[in-house]
Structure formats: C-alpha cells, structure tokens
A and B are shown apart, each in its own frame.
Chain A
C-alpha cells in the first residue's frame, strides 16, 4: 500500500499549514495529492428561532475556509502537487468518511477535537468514533501539544508498538510502504505484568527470549530496507510503556494498530489505541486491521 492521496481535515483552530508542511516528507514515499476538508458544524448555521437558516453566516464561513485553502493550495500547486478541497456542513465524522471514500485517500490526517468531559462521556469523542468507523489509517495530531510540535517531521523517529496480531502486521506493512520518509524506527513490544506474573521464572524467561527474537527479526527486515531500527521489550502497562518508550527515545510519532471493537465494548474494556488517541502528546498514526 502506497500513500499517494492524503485527506487533511482542518478546523483551522488546531491544525495549520505548518503541520501540513511537516507531512510533505511523505512525498518521498509517493504522496502526490492532498485533499483539504473543512466541516462547518451544522449548529453554526442551523435554524435559530426568529432568524431561520443562517445563509449569510454559511457564506461567510465558507468564504473564510475557501480563502485559507487557496492560500495553502497555492504553495502545494507550485511544488507540483495535486490539490483538492471540500467545504461541507454537517457532522465531522460522516463527512470525513464520505470524502475519504469519494477521493480514495490512503491516509486521513486530523486533530483530536476538544470537547468537554461531560460531552465526551455521553456522546463519545469524534476521534474515537472516526478510528472505530474508518478502514483508512488515521494520523492524529493532538490539540494541546500541536503548537510546539506542528513543524516537526513526524516520520523522522517512529515508535512502532506491536503485539504480533493481524493489526500489527498491517502496521508493519504500512510503515514499510512509507519507508523512504522514515529515518529511524523503535520497535516496541510490551509484555503485561499479569501475563508474566502467572508464569514460572523459567517460562517467563522463555517468553522474553521468544519476544526478543521476534523483535530482532522485525528489526532486521527494516535494516535490510536501510531503515535504522531498534528493538525494545518492556514489561508493564502497555499504554504507559508505549508513552514512556516514546519519551525515552524521543520519538516523533507513535504508530500502532487497532482492532475495530464496538463503541460499547470499547467504552467498558478500554482500547490502547483509543486511549492513546485521547492522551498522547505526540502525533499518533493508527492503522486499522481492516474490515468492519
């Protein structure tokens, strides 16, 4: 799978052109088409008592988005890129899914939308909803850490979290497909304390040895492709260890797979990808296992 077309979803408040420019490293891996999407929330222009549908407000918001996209597009056009734009009114996630389908994108880039705690408990976050519903890889910039990191090339030092599942294989395939844009990969596998605690010392050592061997094998495949790769085996809470590993090795992005669980199951059992999507300060690339 090659990343040739990227959907860049911007609400303008949290995802700006410097973030987009930092993604231009993907041109080395085949990116040649960027599609912009801005979704105007329906309640900004919807019927209000006494004033009806706010057509004038809609025109104004469309114009603001259009001017911004033209400004961004001019730079990309001059670099020989193909650029498209969609400005829509409605709910963000269905619009992203629909444009991703129409434009046949290979990657969705968006920022985590900030909502109130209560709103998230009762409505769920749009980010989680998107990750659950899409079959496309999603690169997520986080709202509060955006300002400091926006210009940094997120593909420079990846932390790849793998658990030997089908979704991990997809993650590896996806990272291989963009290897030209990647400088270094830290490959992390986390054994849970619970899992190890149940084993005898001998058995635990065996599991550790096997895991290290598998990690080394994965590293070798990267090294063969001229990508610097290092294995890391951790024991503990998976989410915590991934975050710690990312910080220790100064990763510029965390990459992991996701299994498409139902919203209900996910809410009660938790999911590492969804949880990291909410908490990670670093850009997070989530690759779905595929198939709903």
Chain B
C-alpha cells in the first residue's frame, strides 16, 4: 500500500513541486498550507512522513516540529525539514525553546535547505520510507 506523505508548506509553487516528486515515486501526497492546518492534518491523516517548512503563516515549522516530538502518539512519524531557514538556526531555536522550560527533542530525520533538487528529495524519502 502506498505511503502517505504530508507536506506543510505555504509556497504554492513548492507544494506543486513536492506533490509531483511524491506522486512520481508512488507516494500519496497530502498538502497543508500552514502550520495550523498541518498540525490538524497530522492528527487526521496519520501520515507515514512529514515534509515540513519553517517560516509560514499561523504556526511556524519550529513550533509544529517541537509539538510533534512532544506528542507521544505522533513523535514516531519521521520528519524531513525543507526550508530556507538554516539547519543551524533550526537547532538553535529548538534549544531556545527548551530554555523556556520545554523538554529537549531529538533532531529531525533529515534537513534539506531550499532550493532542493527533485532527485535529492526523492533519495531522502526513499532512505527513510523504503
């Protein structure tokens, strides 16, 4: 059975690009256009993997990632970060959240900085899902 991949991304062009890569490699794409919708779809769809942007309306990928990792029912879902925000900033921001009393969370399964080539994205997905 084909695996479901949720892409949380506010840029429609990148959503289209990711959906195309997913379909071409036999995955079922599920799309969310901001962190709030993404958090809702994770609970509804229980995807096999999440591709997550960071700077978005309503809720950032930084916050959504932190919440995913703290939720016992969702923390095992692999996450691939796909963002223009650097990995260094992402890691520092996760550390900054723990300074305010939140628990430390593990790093994501993969971190891709935009722009990403279709083959690179597909390879990362394959490595995690297959």
Interface bits B84-105 vs A (CB < 8 Å: 1, else 0): 1110011011001101100000
Q: Does B22 contact A (CB under 8 A)?
A: no
CB nearest neighbor in A for B56? A84
Known interface pairs A70-B84, A78-B89; A102-B55 also in contact (CB < 8 Å): no
Interface bits B13-55 vs A (CB < 8 Å: 1, else 0): 1000000000000000000000000000000000000000011
Name B's interface SS: loop
- A residues less than 8 Å from B10 (CB atoms): 85
For chain A, give the interface size range.
20 to 34
A77 in contact with B57 (CB, 8 Å): no
How many B residues touch A, CB cutoff 8 Å? Answer: 23
> Which of B1-9, B58-66, B69-77, B116-124 has 4 or more CB atoms under 8 Å from chain A?
B58-66
B60 in contact with A82 (CB, 8 Å): yes
A77 in contact with B96 (CB, 8 Å): yes
Q: A103 contacts which of B11, B58, B97, B99 (Cβ < 8 Å)?
A: B58
B60 in contact with A83 (CB, 8 Å): yes
- List CB contacts (< 8 Å) of A34-74 with chain B: 35, 59, 66-67, 69-70, 73-74
CB nearest neighbor in A for B100? A80
Q: A70 contacts which of B13, B55, B96 (Cβ < 8 Å)?
A: B55
Q: Does A248 contact B (CB under 8 A)?
A: no
Known interface pairs A74-B89, A78-B92; A83-B84 also in contact (CB < 8 Å): no
A73 in contact with B57 (CB, 8 Å): no
A80 in contact with B55 (CB, 8 Å): no
- B residues less than 8 Å from A80 (CB atoms): 93, 96-97, 99-100
Q: Tell me how far the C-beta of A82 lies from the nearest C-beta in chain B, rounded to whole angstroms.
A: 6
B57 in contact with A83 (CB, 8 Å): no
Q: A102 contacts which of B58, B84, B97, B100 (Cβ < 8 Å)?
A: B58
Known interface pairs A79-B96, A80-B93, A80-B97; A74-B59 also in contact (CB < 8 Å): no
- A residues less than 8 Å from B90 (CB atoms): 77
Interface bits A73-100 vs B (CB < 8 Å: 1, else 0): 1100111101111100000000000010
B56 in contact with A85 (CB, 8 Å): yes
What would 4 more interface pairs be, CB under 8 Å, given A66-B11, A82-B59, A84-B58?
Answer: A77-B90, A78-B89, A80-B96, A85-B56
- A residues less than 8 Å from B97 (CB atoms): 80
- A residues less than 8 Å from B56 (CB atoms): 84-85
